[in-house]
């Protein structure tokens, strides 16, 4: 079972081969560090490349977005000359020259078709006291017009000509108009000499309140303000946006000022126009454009508590801040209720400190409304009921 033969030595070549295999899998610190350094360098290169790619991609995306915005704004830019020209092309055929002849007068204004069956809108003051009204179309045709109806204090009138298939304007939404928006006025300044004149500007202000004393009344109109040049003959013409939508009706300008024109907002105007076309009048429409101010029927002055005043040779010291009654108009709402020397300090509980506040407060009421006045009479506070009347 046991052999006494000496063990044979392994060949030298085999020993050498095994040594190389073992050495190939041996861990060496220097080699590991070299490997790690190489990998780190690779990662840095890859990271830098990725960062560069991200930066380039981000720049490209931002550039494309910017281009898109510029292109979009270019298409919808209300200041674009091309869009303004397109709007004028759309609105011009719908605009007419209104010629109003009275017994001893001849005037011109502007109007525009609101319906294809010949209904035209203009300002009341354009056809006021006219016995004959004619309109000239953009095509050159001239027609006799009938006055369907009007609203004096809203300064609106509706005309009608025979025929059909007229180019009615596209009505916009004046409640969405913004200050700074481009607007275009088309009208006939000077009548036939300046027919179909286009001017361009912006909306300067919204809900501008103008107090007017005309037709034996004091009333307040809420209008759009524009710096688009308007002149006599523009009255009743369309004020449109750059899309060719009518958002206002040019009605007046303030003399003595540069570029202060006013237009009736189209939303409120169309309520009145629709009523006139349907009923021949707009008496039942609660106008959003015009408020007529009723009156108390007094002469008055502002007074400040503690200060001394003189009237008709008599001196007195004001007992409160407010409106001092210096006179009462016969047959007015105040007649028999207020007395000279009363100081009005409130209307329906709202403080009134001066005549301007009193006038503004009265715009919230209508003729026939009953209000409660708080007055100081002979140093004592009193509550008085007054029925308002027309101015």
CA distance 27 to 18: 17
Which tokens in the block code for residue 236? 């009743």
Q: Catalytic pick from 83, 99, 125, 204?
A: 125
Residues paired with 279 in a beta bridge: none
Radius of gyration of the chain (CA): 41
CA distance 275 to 256: 36
Which of 218, 202, 201 is CA-nearest to residue 210? 218
Give yes or no: 125 in active site: yes
Q: Catalytic pick from 151, 204, 235, 332?
A: 235
Contact by Cβ (8 Å): 108, 192: yes
CA distance 51 to 220: 65
For the beta carbon of residue 309, count every other beta carbon within 10 angstroms. 15
Q: Catalytic pick from 155, 204, 321, 342?
A: 155
Catalytic residue IDs: 125, 155, 235
């Amino acid at each position: 079972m046991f052999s006494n033969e000496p063990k044979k030595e392994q060949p030298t070549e085999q020993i050498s081969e095994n040594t190389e295999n073992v050495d190939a899998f041996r861990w060496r610190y220097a080699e590991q560090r070299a490997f790690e350094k190489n990998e780190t360098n690779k990662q840095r290169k890859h990271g830098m490349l990725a960062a560069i790619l991200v930066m380039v991609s981000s720049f490209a995306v931002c550039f494309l977005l910017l281009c898109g915005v510029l292109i979009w704004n270019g298409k919808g830019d209300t200041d674009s000359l091309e869009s303004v020209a397109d709007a004028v092309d759309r609105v011009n055929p719908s605009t007419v020259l209104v010629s109003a002849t009275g017994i001893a007068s001849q005037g011109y204004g502007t109007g525009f078709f609101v319906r294809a069956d010949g209904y035209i809108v203009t300002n009341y003051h354009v056809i006021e006291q006219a016995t004959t009204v004619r309109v000239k179309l953009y095509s050159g045709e001239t027609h006799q017009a009938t006055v369907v109806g009007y609203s004096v204090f809203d300064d609106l009138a509706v005309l009608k000509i025979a025929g059909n298939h007229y180019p009615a304007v596209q009505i916009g939404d004046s409640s969405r108009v913004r200050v700074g928006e481009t607007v275009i006025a088309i009208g006939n300044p000077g009548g036939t000499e300046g027919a179909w004149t286009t001017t361009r500007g912006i909306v300067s202000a919204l809900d501008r309140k103008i107090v007017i004393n005309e037709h034996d009344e004091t009333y307040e109109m809420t209008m759009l303000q524009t710096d688009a040049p308007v002149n006599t003959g523009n009255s009743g013409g369309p004020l449109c946006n750059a899309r060719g939508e009518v958002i206002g009706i040019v009605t007046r300008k303030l003399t003595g000022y540069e570029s202060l024109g006013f237009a009736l907002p189209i939303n409120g105007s169309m309520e009145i126009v629709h009523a006139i076309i349907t009923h021949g009048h707009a008496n039942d429409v609660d106008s959003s454009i015009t408020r007529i101010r009723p009156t108390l029927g007094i002469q008055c002055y502002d007074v400040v508590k503690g200060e001394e005043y003189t009237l008709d040779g008599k001196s007195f010291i004001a007992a409160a801040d407010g409106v001092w009654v210096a006179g009462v108009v016969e047959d007015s709402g105040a007649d028999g209720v207020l007395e000279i020397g009363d100081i009005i300090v409130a209307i329906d509980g709202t403080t009134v400190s001066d005549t301007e506040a009193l006038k503004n407060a009265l715009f919230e009421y209508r003729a026939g409304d009953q209000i409660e006045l708080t007055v100081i009479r002979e140093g004592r506070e009193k509550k008085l009921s007054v029925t308002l009347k027309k101015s």
